[in-house]
Structure 1
Amino acid sequence: MSTRPHRGRGPQERVAERRARLIVAGLDMWGECGWSGVSVRGVCARARLTDRYFYESFDGREALLLAVFDQALADLMAAMAAVPWEGEPRPFMRASMTAVFAALDADPRLARVTRSDTSGSPALERRRHEALDAIADLITARITAVSEGPMDADSVRAPVRFCVAGVLELISMWLGGRLEATVEQLADQCSDLCARVFGIP
C-alpha cells in the first residue's frame, strides 16, 4: 500500500474515509432493508468501493454490521450527552429524551437500527445488550453524581434499567405507528413515567 500523500491526505486518512463511506452505505441499506438485507457486495456498490477496500477495514459482513450499530448508537448517545445536566432532574430528563426522540424522528435509518430484531445474529444481540448496559450506566452515573446525599449506584441501576426498557418499548411503539404522539408529547410521557419511578416531584 502506498504511503504517499494523496490530495493532501495520508494513507491512514484515506483508509478512515473509505471505512466511513462503507459504514454510511451499510446504515443506508439497514435503514431500507433491515440488517439481514445488508451484504458486502451491496455495500461496496453503494459506497463505490471494491471488495479490496471493504476487507481493508472489516473482516466480514458481521464486523460491518457491528460498526453500523455502534455508529447509530454513538449518534443517539451524542444527542443525549449534548444536553447539560443543570437545574432540576425532571427538565433534564425531558430535554435528554427530546433530543434522542428528535434524532430518531429526523433520521429513519437510526429508527430502523433501533427497532431491529437482532435475535437472528448472536453478535448483534450481544452488542445490543452491551448498548443497553452502557446507556443505563451513563444515566446511573449522572444520577449518583448530582444526588444531594450519598447514593449507592447498585440501588439506582435497577430502576434505571427498568426505565430504559420501558422507554425503549414506547419508542418502538411510536416508531411503528402504534403510539401517536409528537416528539414533545412522547418526551413528556416518558420523563413523567421515569420521574415517578425515582420519586422526583
Structure 2
Amino acid sequence: MDVRAPARTWGGRTADERRAQRREALVAAALEIWLDSGWAAVTMRGVCQRAGLNDRYFYENFADRDELLGEVWDEVCAEVFADLAAVITENSDRTPVQILRAAIARAVALQADQRSRARILLAEHAGSAVLELRRQRMLTDSTDMMVAVAWPYLRPGVDETAFRMSTLAGIGGFIELLTAWRTGVLDVDADRIAEHTSMIALQLGAMFLPPELLGG
C-alpha cells in the first residue's frame, strides 16, 4: 500500500500553495507596472520590489522577463476573450448584426477604461519579440472566433477563404482604429468608434449574410 506523507504546511498553506501565491503576486505586480508605465518598465527587480519578494522567487517561477511578460499577456488575453465570448452568448438570440454590435461595443468599452487590463493588448509592443508574436496570434485567434460564431448565419456556398480574409482585414482594421484612438490620433468618443466600426462590419457582412439577417 502506497502511504504518502501529508504535505507540510506553513501558515496554513502547503509549499505548492505558497509558490502559486508568489507567482500570482509577481504577475499582478508586473501587470500594475505595465499599466502604469508600459511593458519596457517591467523589470525583474521592479516586479520583485512591488510584490515584496526577493529575486530568488522570481527565478523560482520564470526563466526571464520575457516569460513573465508572456504570462501576463496570456492571462489578460484569455480574460478578454472570455469576456467577449460571454457577450456573444448573452446575445445569442439576437440577429448576427446585433451580436456583432454588442461585441464591438464591449471591446471599445474595455479600451476606454483607463485601468482596464485589456489596454495592454493594444499598447506599443515594438522591441519585444515575444509580445509581437502574441499580438499576431491574438489577431489570428480573434479571426478564428469570429468565423466560428458567424459561420451558421452565412449564405449557403460562401467562400470560406474569402470570408476569413475579410474577417481578418476587419478585425485588423478595428485593432488599428482602436490603437489610433487610444493614442490620440483620433479625437472622437467611444460611442462614435463603436458606431463607425459597426457600420463597416455591416458593409462587410453584406457580402456574406443573407439579406434578411442584415437588419438590426
Q: Same fold (TM over 0.5)?
A: yes
**Alignment correspondent of 1:68:** 72
Deviations 1:96-153 (A, max 9, x none): 1112222222244636523333231222211111111111111111111343635454
- Number of the residue aligned with 1:104: 111
8 Å contact kept, 1:30–1:112: no
The corresponding residue for 1:30 is: 34
What amino acid maps onto 2:45 in structure 1?
A: R
Corresponding residue to 1:117 among 94, 111, 124: 124
Percentage identity across paired residues of the two chains: 32
Q: Quick one: distance in 1 between partners of 2:195 and 2:185?
A: 17
C-alpha displacement of 1:7: 4.2
Aligned-pair CA distance for 1:65 = 0.8
The number of residues matched between the two structures is: 200
**1:11-51 residue CA offsets vs partner (Å, 9 max, x unmatched):** 33322222121111111111122111110000011111121
2: CA distance, partners of 1:89 / 1:27: 35
Kindly indicate whether the alpha-carbon contact (under 8 Å) linking 1:30 and 1:37 is maintained by their aligned counterparts in 2: yes
Q: Note closer, same or farther for the CA distance 1:18–1:69 as it changes in structure 2 (3 Å cut).
A: same
Q: What are the ranges of 5 or more consecutive residues in structure 1 without an aligned counterpart?
A: none
CA distance in 2, matches of 1:60, 1:109: 25
What are structure 2's unaligned runs of at least 5 residues?
Answer: 1-5
* Superposition map of 1:164-175 within 5 A: 164-175=171-182
Task: Provide the residue aligned with 2:135 in structure 1.
Answer: 128
Aligned ranges 1:52-201 → 2 under 5 Å? 52-83=56-87, 84=89, 85-108=92-115, 110=117, 112-147=119-154, 149-199=156-206, 201=214
Q: SS where residue 82 of structure 1 aligns? A: helix
Query: Aligned partners of 1:75 and 1:124: how far apart in 2?
Result: 17
Could you report, residue by residue, the CA deviation over 1:72-103 in whole angstroms, capped at 9, with x for unpaired residues? Answer: 21222122111113321111111111122222
Give SS of 2:184's match. Answer: coil
Query: Within the alignment, does 1:20 sit opposite 2:24 as a pair?
Result: yes
Larger mean Cα displacement after TM superposition, 132-141 or 119-128: 119-128
Of residues 2, 7, 13 in structure 2, which corresponds to 1:9? 13
Partners of 1:58 and 1:64 within 8 A in 2: yes
Return closer, same or farther for 1:145/1:107 CA change in 2, 3 Å cut-off: farther
User: Given that residues 121 and 135 in structure 2 are in contact (C-alpha distance below 8 angstroms), is that contact kept between their aligned partners in structure 1?
Assistant: no
Distance 1:105 1:61 in 2: 28
> Which segment is superposed worse, 112-121 or 89-98?
112-121
Q: How does 1:43-58 map to 2 (within 5 A)?
A: 43-58=47-62
Residue pair 1:31, 1:113 contacting (<8 A) in 2 also: yes
**Residue identity in the other structure for 2:69:** L
Preserved CA contact (<8 Å) 1:144 1:152: no
**Deviations 1:160-182 (Å, cap 9, x if unpaired)?**
11011110111012212232333
**Counterpart amino acid of residue 27 in structure 1:** L
Q: Is the 8 A contact 1:25 1:46 kept in 2?
A: yes
Contact 1:23–1:67 under 8 Å retained in 2: yes
Flag the structure with larger Rg: 2
